């Protein structure tokens, strides 16, 4: 492990992910934040946008044009889908490693992306070199990568809830139903009619029914684990809370199963994964809020002969920013938990 500090840029400062990345990187012993960009706020101190950083991170925001004018070790792209791809194409030869927090390189091909995102993809070559940044599954590949596609928040919680069973090829075909709920920050920082306070407060609803774009991401990754094409039923819901994701996944399994065997299977699969905590009670979103943990609780229902797997993450952290930092740690050969040992904030 090297002791020098690496220089990082955060591209896209105005959103929740950009500010959470800054919060984590500011306290990371191996990192120097060289620049933070925002096209609409050039020249303003970062702390004007995010007052929680006053006197801690006041650097002036710059335009993304400045990124290739300075030597950088890593560029975090905290940009919307459809925007990141152009920057990846532009900076691919810059010598910096790129961690993209959008969905632009998470899927297997340009064709799959265009079908599910309903957008043209301008840099299909990126799919060949990008690595899916879920450290619990792909740490080795991530450590050798120059372009990491940081996973979606729902897919992170969903994949980790069922990964041990898919890895052991124990899931019955087409039996998986994933019922997922997210806090409001998952919708991004720009308010709209759906995210208006009066629409969200004391309300609860499903959206993206039978076709949410995270479905294909979950299917591709769990399919990679089991070695075949799979199909899942995925339904997201909007919770009237700030942050957190709770996934309840249901599946039929092949062969004989009991609680002891199921628990052992999960324990064995996650034994050397420091940020997946196997719980013996169902986790709530406050058990992980503000942390990089994914809490998982697998239950065997003897009566229906189904596995019910529950997982909880903070959508802005394990679902976005801290996952990106975990990937950076792997790419630069730092101990994987460097800068990521925050305890959950509760209540």
With respect to residue 267, please indicate whether it lies within any of the assigned structural domains.
Answer: yes
The tally of domains found in the chain comes to 2
With respect to residue 188, please indicate whether it lies within any of the assigned structural domains.
Answer: yes
With respect to residue 342, please indicate whether it lies within any of the assigned structural domains.
Answer: no
What pLDDT is recorded for position 2?
Answer: 54
pLDDT per position as a tens digit, 175-186: 999 999 999 999
With respect to residue 336, please indicate whether it lies within any of the assigned structural domains.
Answer: no
DSSP per-residue codes, 149-199: EPPPHHHHHHHHHHHHHHHTT-BPTT-EEEEEEE-GGGG-SS--TTT-HHH
Measured CA to CA, the distance from residue 44 to residue 38 in angstroms comes to 9
Domain with 278 in it: 154-313
Verify that 107 and 196 share a domain, yes or no: no
Verify that 130 and 171 share a domain, yes or no: no
With respect to residue 344, please indicate whether it lies within any of the assigned structural domains.
Answer: no
pLDDT per position as a tens digit, 316-343: 999 999 999 999 999 999 999 999 999 9
Question: Is the C-alpha dihedral spanning 236, 237, 243, 247 positive or negative?
Answer: negative
What pLDDT is recorded for position 189?
Answer: 85
153 and 313 in contact (C-beta within 8 Å)? Answer: yes
Closest CA to 215 of 298, 126, 137, 117: 117
Verify that 234 and 172 share a domain, yes or no: yes
Verify that 250 and 296 share a domain, yes or no: yes
Q: pLDDT-based confidence at 194, cuts 50/70/90? A: confident
With respect to residue 340, please indicate whether it lies within any of the assigned structural domains.
Answer: no
Average pLDDT over residues 151-158: 98
Phi and psi based region of residue 244 (left: phi greater than 0; alpha: psi -120 to 50; beta: remaining): left
Average pLDDT over residues 287-314: 98
Verify that 147 and 162 share a domain, yes or no: no
What pLDDT is recorded for position 228?
Answer: 94
What is the CATH number for 158? 3.30.360.10
281 and 312 in contact (C-beta within 8 Å)? Answer: no
143 and 99 in contact (C-beta within 8 Å)? Answer: no
What pLDDT is recorded for position 257?
Answer: 98
With respect to residue 339, please indicate whether it lies within any of the assigned structural domains.
Answer: no
Verify that 91 and 30 share a domain, yes or no: yes
Verify that 137 and 58 share a domain, yes or no: yes
Reply yes or no on whether the pLDDT at 1 is more than 70: no
Reply yes or no on whether the pLDDT at 3 is more than 90: no
50 and 39 in contact (C-beta within 8 Å)? Answer: no
Verify that 323 and 288 share a domain, yes or no: no
With respect to residue 102, please indicate whether it lies within any of the assigned structural domains.
Answer: yes
Verify that 88 and 120 share a domain, yes or no: yes
Catalytically active residues are 153
What is the CATH number for 57? 3.40.50.720
What pLDDT is recorded for position 191?
Answer: 84
Reply yes or no on whether the pLDDT at 274 is more than 80: yes
Measured CA to CA, the distance from residue 287 to residue 291 in angstroms comes to 9
Percentage of residues in the chain having pLDDT higher than 70 = 99
pLDDT per position as a tens digit, 202-222: 999 999 999 999 999 999 999
What pLDDT is recorded for position 339?
Answer: 98
Verify that 135 and 201 share a domain, yes or no: no
Verify that 147 and 159 share a domain, yes or no: no
pLDDT per position as a tens digit, 42-74: 999 999 999 999 999 999 999 999 999 999 999
Verify that 254 and 273 share a domain, yes or no: yes
């Amino acid at each position: 492990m090297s002791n020098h500090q690496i220089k990082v840029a955060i591209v896209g400062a105005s959103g929740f992910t950009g500010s959470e990345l800054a919060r984590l990187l500011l306290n990371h012993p191996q990192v120097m934040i060289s620049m933070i960009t925002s096209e609409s706020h050039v020249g303003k101190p970062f702390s004007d946008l995010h007052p929680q950083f006053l006197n801690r991170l006041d650097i002036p925001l710059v335009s993304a044009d400045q990124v290739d004018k300075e030597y950088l070790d890593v560029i975090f792209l905290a940009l919307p889908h459809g925007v990141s791809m152009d920057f990846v194409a532009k900076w691919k030869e810059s010598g910096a490693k790129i961690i993209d927090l959008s969905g632009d390189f998470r899927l297997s091909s340009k064709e799959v992306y265009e079908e599910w995102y309903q957008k043209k993809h301008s840099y299909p070559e990126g799919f060949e070199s990008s690595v899916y940044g879920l450290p619990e599954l792909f740490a080795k590949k991530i450590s050798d990568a120059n372009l990491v596609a940081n996973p979606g928040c729902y897919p992170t919680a969903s994949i980790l809830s069922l990964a041990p069973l898919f890895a052991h090829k124990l899931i019955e075909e087409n039996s998986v139903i994933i019922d997922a709920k997210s806090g409001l920050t998952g919708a991004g920082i720009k308010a709209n009619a759906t995210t208006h306070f009066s629409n969200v407060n004391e309300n609860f609803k499903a959206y993206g029914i039978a076709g949410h774009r995270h479905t294909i991401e979950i299917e591709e990754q769990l399919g990679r684990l089991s070695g075949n094409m799979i199909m899942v039923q995925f339904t997201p819901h909007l919770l009237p809370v700030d942050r957190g994701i709770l996934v309840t996944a249901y599946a039929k399994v092949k062969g004989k199963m009991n609680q002891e065997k199921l628990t052992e299977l999960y324990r064995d699969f996650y034994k050397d994964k420091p940020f997946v905590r196997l719980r013996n009670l169902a986790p709530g979103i406050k058990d992980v809020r503000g942390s990089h943990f994914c809490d998982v609780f697998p239950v065997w229902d003897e009566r229906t002969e189904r596995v019910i797997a529950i997982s909880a993450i903070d959508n802005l952290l394990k679902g976005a920013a801290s996952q990106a930092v975990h990937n950076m740690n792997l790419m630069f050969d730092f101990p994987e938990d460097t800068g990521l040992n925050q305890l959950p904030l509760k209540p």
